[in-house]
Amino acid sequence: MNVSFDYNGKNVLIFGGTSGINLGIAEAYAACGAIVGVVGRNAEKAEVAREAIAAHGGKAFCYTADVRDFEAVTEVYKAFVRDADKIDILVSGAAGNFPAPALGMSPNGFKSVVEIDLLGTFHVLRAGFEYLNVPGASVMNISAPQAMIAMPLQSHVCAAKAGVDMITRTLAIEWGPMGVRVNSVIPGPIDGTEGMARLAPTQKMRDAVEKAVPLQRMGLPSDVADVCLFLGSDAARYVTGVILPADGGAVAAGSAGMGMSSMGH
Ligand code: COA
């Protein structure tokens, strides 16, 4: 972490927070003093994440839910407010992905990703609103460059994440008068994540991705987490309805970069 924010007395709940970029976000909030809840599909993984945060002195709880299941998501909120009280920062980061051409994907494959990414985001925000500390709460949806850049092998994710960003902008309008800010963060290619391993499995593809990023490197989870620390803070008090890439310029470079590299060119 290169920046300093004080989150003592704040509660943060992170769906998908048990691994990868979202765990990095959870660790960053915890390091700044927040009480953090991480939610994942796998109970063992969730407990490992909780222990990792606690090992660094953070206060953490973990929960299990599939964001496709509205009732399960609701139960997580009930448990978190029992454990920690109201939510100041809500991060919706659960996502699914696999690379496949549209012609190599069954309707159920497309539906699975749309249900996790898009319907899951609706579930998390819809069920979560009544547990937010209003006014003042900050909601973040973790989107993806696919929301902005048409990418081969990613028709399901492109469609789902574009929808996620429109939920962000719509709810910023609906919830703004109640004092709730809603923003999207777009992580670029982040090193060491399951997503990158799936999208760029060979060294040649990794090199192509790095060359395609204007800042000439893959990102780190902390590059994204620092942006989330900003968005959750009072420094961002007048920022809502924004789609904010933390991506080294990858989205600005557009299909000239990442889209073709995902095809191995
Ligand atoms: N190519 C084509 N289709 C695929 C696929 C692939 N690589 N991987 C899964 N699918 C299809 C399956 O065949 C199935 O369709 P079918 O019933 O018509 O055969 C459908 O997707 C659902 O697969 P299943 O494994 O049953 O779904 P799931 O709900 O257990 O998993 C996924 C959801 C598919 C998104 C899975 O990739 C996943 O669990 N991802 C979570 C982790 C992740 O993606 N992390 C990266 C985040 S960026």
**This prediction's pTM:** 0.95
**CA-proximal residue: ligand 1, atom 42 (nearest):** 96
The model's pLDDT over 205-248, given as tens digits with 9 standing for 90+, comes to 999 999 999 999 999 999 999 999 999 999 999 999 999 999 99
Q: Where are the domains of the chain?
A: 11-192+220-249
The dihedrals phi and psi of 156, each to the nearest 5 degrees, come to -65, -45
Third-level CATH fold of 11-192+220-249:
Rossmann fold (3.40.50)
- Which residue carries 């920062």 as its tokens? 89
Q: What is the pLDDT of residue 265?
A: 41
| Residue of 68, 97, 110, 112 to test ligand 1 pocket, by largest number of atoms within 8 Å of CB | 112
The model's pLDDT over 86-112, given as tens digits with 9 standing for 90+, comes to 999 999 999 999 999 999 999 999 999
- CA 82 to ligand 1 centroid distance, Å: 33
Cα–Cα distance between 50 and 15 in angstroms, integer? 13
Beta bridge partners of 142: 185
Beta bridge partners of 219: 190
